Structure formats: C-alpha cells, structure tokens
Amino acid sequence: MTAESHDTLRTGLARSLLREIADRLAQLADTGEAHAIDLRALPLSPADRTELHEVLGTGEVEAVLHVAGESTLRETAFTGVWWVTHRGEGGAIAAETIEICAAPEILYAQSADIGWSAARLAEELRGDRDAT
C-alpha cells in the first residue's frame, strides 16, 4: 500500500466510532454517565480522521489551556461531544480523546485551587482596607 492510498483509505473505523459516540451520548443524556475514547489507541487512517472531523463538525465552545503544554478542548456540533487534544514539548500530540460529557473534567476548578484563590483575594482586599 502506498502512502497516498493509506491517506485516502476509509477503514470503516470512523463509522464504528460515530455509532459508539451516538450510543454514549444517549447514555449521557439518560444517566449522566460520561465516557472517553482514546483516539491515539486506534488505527485511524487520515481519511478516517477526516471523516470524524466532517461528521462531528464544530460547536460553539473552544478552550485552550496552557499547562505543561497546550491543550485544546473543542465542542463538536453535538452538545456533549468534545474533541480534546493535549500537546507536549514542541507541539507534538501527547493525547487525543473524544469525550462525551457535559464539560471535560480538566476545565473544572479543583477545590484546593478555589480555596487558595479565596484566601488570596481576601488578602488583596485586606490591603485595600489598610490603605484607607
């Protein structure tokens, strides 16, 4: 098989994934149970990836995080279906998932961080009170 034929080969895996995503999305709607699919663990051809992108489309929300590399969390055209890409050093993809959830867990603030921020803001406001 040539590199060109591999690039255009549709293996049928994209359609299988889309059916799984549809089932998991219905499950999320019914039970609230989230699910993630590790795209890096699957033998997707470039044509399969293109098909996934075309069918899932682009939604209204995109977030970019800059923590130990860049992470892009993009909602697809289907609410509750997120395409999440984490990049490491040099921009190489370290992890890539389709997450079926209300919002990816990485976007939720951690309790310890919220407590630290509350203390920091209170300290900042005490400085205002002392200055008056």
Token duo for residue 60? 């209204």
Higher per-residue confidence, 6 vs 63: 63
**What percentage of the chain reaches a pLDDT higher than 70?**
91
Identify the pLDDT of residue 2.
Answer: 55
Report how far apart, in Å, the C-alpha atoms of 130 and of each of 82, 118, 121, 125, 126 are.
47, 18, 14, 9, 6
Token duo for residue 25? 């999305």
Output the average pLDDT for the chain: 91
Identify the pLDDT of residue 130.
Answer: 63
What are the sequence ranges of the domains in the chain? 3-107
For domain 3-107, give the fold: Ribosomal Protein S8; Chain: A, domain 1 (3.30.1370)
Using one digit for the tens of pLDDT, what is the confidence trace for 30-77?
Answer: 999 999 999 999 999 999 999 999 999 999 999 999 988 899 999 999
3-state secondary structure of 109: coil
pLDDT (mean) for 7-23: 90
pLDDT (mean) for 16-30: 98
Cα–Cα distance for residue pair 97/38, rounded to 1 Å:
5
Token duo for residue 4? 């060109």
Higher per-residue confidence, 126 vs 37: 37
Amino acid at 63: A
- The residues with which 38 forms a beta bridge, in sequence order, are 97
- Is 100 a residue whose pLDDT tops 90? yes
Higher per-residue confidence, 8 vs 33: 33
3-state secondary structure of 84: strand
